[in-house]
Amino acid sequence: MEFFRAAAVARLLAADVLWFGIGELSKVLLIFLACLAPVALAARAGVRSASVDQINAARALGASPWQVLRHVVFPAALPEILIGLRIGMGVGWTTLVAAEMVAAQAGLGQLVLNASNFLRTDVVLMGILVIGLFAGLFEFGMRCLERVLVPWKGRA
């Protein structure tokens, strides 16, 4: 599965670099496109998780469409949205490292790639550990944010 994701990222990066060059814009656009699908699909699933009974009850109590959205739909969708953001953050981080390996002059991905070309195993291992450490910190931060924003969901 990872091979197919890496191949898809490489094809998208190649087209992205052809259109926008090697600059920062192409990397930002690539990361945005990689993160868009998981976040959008999770938001859609979250909005669909709001039950019709809850929406009808809010309407029966005189809630405006904006109040229904704010007090019923958004709280029901927030757990799924946060899960989509966690997934998107992981996809974005791996895409960033891959983009740095392919088309960058600096960054962790470029550092690891250059070190591997010169057989600097210590730098490669340290780069991989730093990449993993940051991924773990991002995950930990998102889980803490989930605990604060959606305490009714339970422990994540």
Q: What is the pLDDT of residue 101?
A: 79
The three-state secondary structure class of 120 is coil
pLDDT tens-digit map of 11-48: 666 666 667 666 677 778 888 888 888 999 999 999 99
The fraction of the chain above a pLDDT of 70, given in percent, is 82
Per DSSP, the three-state class of 29 is helix
Q: Is the pLDDT of residue 123 over 70?
A: yes
Mean pLDDT of 115-130: 86
Instruction: Decide: 149 and 78 in contact? Cβ < 8 Å.
Output: yes
Measured distance CA(13)–CA(5) in Å, rounded = 12
Alpha carbon distances (Å) from 22 to 26, 28, 44: 6, 11, 33
Q: List pLDDT tens digits, range 90-117.
A: 998 888 888 777 766 777 787 888 888 8
Q: Does domain 2-153 bear CATH number 1.10.10.2120?
A: no
Q: Higher pLDDT residue, 14 or 80? A: 80
Q: Of the ranges 1-10, 90-99, 117-126, which one carries the lowest mean pLDDT score?
A: 1-10
pLDDT band for 137, please (50, 70, 90 cuts).
Answer: very high
What is the average pLDDT score of the chain? 83
Q: pLDDT over 90 for what percent of the chain?
A: 28
| pLDDT at 77 exceeding the cut of 60 | yes
Domain ranges of the chain: 2-153
Residues 69, 51: Cα–Cα separation, whole Å: 12
